[in-house]
Chains A and B, each alone.
Chain A
Amino acid sequence: DTAVSQTPKYLVTQMGNDKSIKCEQNLGHDTMYWYKQDSKKFLKIMFSYNNKELIINETVPNRFSPKSPDKAHLNLHINSLELGDSAVYFCASSLSFLGYTFGSGTRLTVV
């Protein structure tokens, strides 16, 4: 029944590895987002997709590549992981500008 679900919940990996985080929403929303919450708890947007089209791409290293196979899914692939990528990554969705629903987060730790 989870509205926005992310997998995995926890991810521990070594520097240099490539990893993916998956996100799915069953709310019928047309827009999905990836946010990063750093160690200082500050939430910052990374990407946004509306109807499978990329509409926001903030200043994020190109090692991060989002993919939206359909409106209900937005996955995040990260190449050549670095220590500074350690953070909690949140997926969210919305119906146009209406209220946003967040996933429970993926805690990524790069060692």
Chain B
Amino acid sequence: KQEVTQIPAALSVPEGENLVLNCSFTDSAIYNLQWFRQDPGKGLTSLLLIQSSQREQTSGRLNASLDKSSGRSTLYIAASQPGDSATYLCDQNSGGSNYKLTFGKGTLLTVNP
């Protein structure tokens, strides 16, 4: 059974700090991994998608890495801002005939001004 775990469940940091969110997955047959953010009462916004052949992806202040051998992905946020406050979710897609995503429970990030 696929499982995705995100640590920590919640994180509060002062503005300007660099931070790392962690995601671990149990299914080694990973096709890609995607990071999303969800604002309160809103839908999911895709941040970064890493294919299994890639080791990292960058978008602005965000950098996501993928280590298939250890079953881990990290989302690095540089110079955090209050607008980064949201729940961050990672999901694993195992590909094959299995078109479903397995989500972690998310990390609730609060960036304090």
Spell out A's residues near B (CB within 8 Å): 31, 33, 40-45, 48, 50, 55-56, 58, 90, 92, 94, 97-105, 107
Contacts and interface: CB of A to CB of B under 8 A. Distances in A.
B46 A104 contact: no
Nearest to A105: B43
Given A42-B103, A99-B34, 16 more contacts: A33-B99, A33-B100, A33-B101, A41-B105, A41-B106, A50-B99, A55-B99, A56-B99, A56-B100, A92-B44, A97-B31, A97-B99, A100-B46, A100-B101, A102-B43, A105-B43
Contacts of A94: 99
A100 B106 CA distance: 17
Interface string B83-113: 0000101010101011111010110000000
Q: Which one of A31, A98, A107 has the greatest number of beta carbons of chain B within 10 Å?
A: A98
Minimum-distance CB pairs A-B, first 6? A104-B43, A102-B44, A43-B103, A99-B49, A45-B100, A48-B99
A94 B100 CA distance: 10
Contact of B34 (A43, A56, A58, A100): A100
Interface residues of B, number: 24
Contacts, number: 55
Interface of B: 31-32, 34, 36, 41-46, 49, 87, 89, 91, 93, 95, 97-101, 103, 105-106
Contacts of B46: 99-102
